[in-house]
């Protein structure tokens, strides 16, 4: 097919047969569209012998809103190429691209159906011992090997151009840094939260910190980020952790990815208040989430430092103490981005199932209200507190203590 056309189950099968190489020539194949994300179509194509692949197609608009929100198809190219680049330096934790077609905005991926989406698993109170370590490993390797510590200045600039992603970045710029702090039709929260949301809009120190975080997001081309690493972008199993969906990828501040991941674990921490009724079980789950954050922060720091010590190519950046200095600023940024993720997922356009699927409306409202009022397991105040304190953190321990202090 030489022109873009929106796939349905029949067209996917026709396309996959034409590309060939995924199934035997005489295989009987079927397709099922099961995407439930905000933006794309996702098909599972399988034969009768149990072989399967995933076919993902970008729509020319945001699926969650409809044709009134047009969106570039180029995000499919960005996503496939980020996956390939990240897989080159961290194959263990990156989903594998089998084929990509930019005209159709189609990417064929390995089927990770044997694993679970992390958000759904956490919502069922399932835990994964290796999660913090694996994500730290992924974030450290993908960011270090796509930073100026490792890439030549010429190569880095060429890659920054290749991964310029203005439309998807604009979504984050609006939804993450602007909408929650102004009146916007896109914001979604119950009327009962209005006074708390209004307080955020008038919190001058908070707005200053958000401005600094946004400025960094707009200007700091530190490394090739995933750009949207929430718990719905991670597949998990007992022995495997695989990252998917980097269509928001671009060269940005490294702390953005780390902060997004930690922010989503803290959103789940907050949600458990309305999910697990029995206190001992709830505390157990919440302690697991805090432990995972602790492991992730520490392992990220240790992995990144060790990569910098072994593999920094830039002469000046090899100066003793510079990698440590750089990493502290990354960790500080991550605390701020974590806080803003908590805020935007609570009152902005894109929420999380962790909180939204709490069935009982009163309980859900209680979780949201407590999140605003009490500062414990609470997305908004927690976010605010993290953002305001980020600049005082000088070590991994300081960062972790800040997070722990905020949730207690
Ligand atoms: C219109 S897109 C809304 C959100 O979904 C994506 O996963 C990003 O997080 C974005 O902010
Ligand atoms: Mg996504």
Asked if residue 324 belongs to a domain, the reply is yes
Query: Are 226 and 86 contained in the same domain?
Result: no
Q: Of 110, 126, 156, which residue constitutes the final position of a domain?
A: 110
Q: Are residues 71 and 215 in the same domain?
A: no
**Pocket residues: Cβ below 6 A from ligand 1:** 38-39, 62, 64, 171-172, 175, 228, 350
Atom of ligand 1 nearest to the CA of 172: 11
Q: Are residues 84 and 228 in the same domain?
A: no
Domain around 271: 116-407
Which ligand is the nearest neighbour of the Cα of 178? 1
Examine the fold and report which residue of 75, 110, 145 is the final residue of a domain before the chain moves on. Answer: 110
Same domain, 138 and 35: no
CATH code where residue 190 lies: 3.90.1200.10
262 and 131 in one domain?
yes
Query: Reduced to 3 states, what is the DSSP secondary structure of residue 224?
Result: strand
Q: Do 258 and 149 form a contact (C-beta atoms < 8 A)?
A: no
129 and 211, same domain (yes or no): yes
Of 59, 85, 110, which marks where a domain is finished? 110
Q: Which ligand is nearest to the CA of 169?
A: 1
> What's the pLDDT score for residue 407?
74
- Ligand 1 nearest atom to the CA of residue 69, by list position: 1
Looking at ligand 1, which atom is closest to the CA of residue 65? 1
Residues with Cβ within 8 Å of residue 97, at least 6 apart in sequence: 80, 83, 84, 87, 107, 108, 109
Residue 345 confidence (pLDDT): 93
Listed residue (168, 148, 291) closest to 227, CA to CA:
168
Q: What does the pLDDT read at residue 116?
A: 96
pLDDT of residue 408: 65
What is the distance of C-alpha 285 from the center of its chain? 21
Q: Which residue has the least CA distance to atom 5 on ligand 1?
A: 38
Same domain, 215 and 350: yes
Distance CA 335, CA 371 (A): 18
241 and 343 belong to one structural domain: yes
Number of domains forming the structure of the chain: 2
User: The domain that contains 17 carries what CATH number?
Assistant: 3.30.200.20
Is 17 a domain residue?
Answer: yes
For every one of its 408 residues, what pLDDT tens digit does the chain have, with 9 covering 90 and above? 679 999 999 999 999 999 988 999 999 999 999 988 889 999 999 999 999 999 999 999 998 888 999 999 999 999 999 999 999 999 999 999 999 999 999 999 999 999 999 999 999 999 999 999 999 999 999 999 999 999 999 999 999 999 999 999 999 999 999 999 999 999 999 998 898 899 889 988 888 888 999 999 999 999 999 999 999 999 999 999 999 999 999 999 999 999 999 999 999 999 998 999 999 999 999 999 999 999 999 999 999 999 999 999 999 999 999 999 999 889 888 988 988 898 999 999 999 999 999 998 888 887 776 555 433 233 344 556 667 676 777 888 888 887 777 776
- Residue 17, C-beta contacts closer than 8 angstroms, at least 6 positions apart: 23, 29
The residues with which 326 forms a beta bridge, in sequence order, are none
Ligand 2 (ion): residues with CB under 5 Å are 245
Residue 195 lies in a domain: yes
**Nearest residue to 132 via CA among 351, 371, 350, 302:** 302
**4 inside domain:** no
Query: How far is ligand 2, taken at its centre, from the CA of residue 36, in Å?
Result: 10
Alpha carbon nearest to ligand 1 atom 4, residue: 350
Q: Which ligand is nearest to the CA of 226?
A: 2
- How close is the Cα of 38 to the center of ligand 1, in Å? 6
How many residues can be counted in the chain? 408
Nearest ligand, CA of residue 68? 1
Atom 9 in ligand 1: residue holding the nearest Cα:
228
């Amino acid at each position: 097919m030489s022109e873009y056309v929106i796939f349905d189950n029949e067209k996917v099968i026709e396309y996959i047969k034409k590309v060939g190489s995924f199934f035997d020539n005489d295989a009987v194949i079927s397709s099922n569209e099961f995407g439930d994300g905000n933006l794309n179509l996702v098909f599972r194509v399988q034969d009768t012998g149990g072989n399967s692949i995933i076919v993902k197609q970008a729509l020319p608009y945001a699926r969650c809103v409809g044709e009134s929100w047009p969106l570039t198809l180029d995000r499919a190219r960005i996503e496939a190429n980020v996956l390939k680049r990240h897989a080159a330096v961290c194959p263990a934790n990156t989903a594998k691209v089998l084929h990509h077609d930019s005209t159709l905005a189609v990417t064929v991926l390995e089927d990770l159906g044997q694993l679970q989406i992390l958000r759904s698993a956490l919502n069922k109170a399932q835990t994964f011992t290796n999660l913090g370590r694996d994500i730290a490993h992924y974030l450290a390797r993908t960011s270090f090997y796509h930073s100026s510590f490792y890439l030549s200045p010429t190569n880095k600039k060429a890659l920054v151009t290749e991964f310029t992603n203005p439309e998807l970045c604009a979504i984050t710029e609006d939804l993450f840094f602007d909408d929650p702090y102004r009146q916007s039709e896109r914001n979604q929260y119950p009327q009962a939260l209005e006074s708390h949301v209004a307080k955020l809009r008038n919190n001058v120190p908070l707005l200053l910190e958000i401005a600094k975080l946004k400025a960094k997001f707009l200007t700091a081309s530190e490394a090739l980020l995933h750009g949207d690493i929430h718990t719905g972008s991670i597949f998990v199993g007992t022995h495997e952790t695989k990252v998917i969906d980097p269509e928001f990828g671009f060269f940005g501040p490294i702390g953005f990815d780390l902060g997004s991941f930690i922010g989503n674990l803290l959103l789940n921490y907050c949600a458990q208040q309305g999910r697990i009724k029995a206190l001992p079980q709830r505390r157990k789950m919440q302690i697991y989430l805090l432990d995972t954050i602790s492991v992730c922060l520490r392992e990220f720091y240790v992995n990144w430092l060790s990569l910098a010590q072994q593999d920094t190519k830039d002469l000046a950046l090899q100066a003793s103490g510079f990698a440590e200095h750089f990493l502290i600023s990354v960790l500080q940024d991550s605390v701020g981005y974590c806080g803003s993720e908590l805020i935007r997922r609570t009152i902005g356009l894109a929420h999380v199932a962790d909180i939204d699927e709490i069935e009982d409306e009163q309980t859900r409202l209680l979780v949201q209200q407590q999140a605003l009022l009490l500062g414990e397991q609470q997305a908004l105040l927690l976010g605010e507190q993290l953002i305001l304190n980020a600049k005082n953190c000088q070590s991994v321990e300081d960062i972790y203590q800040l997070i722990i202090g905020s949730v207690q």
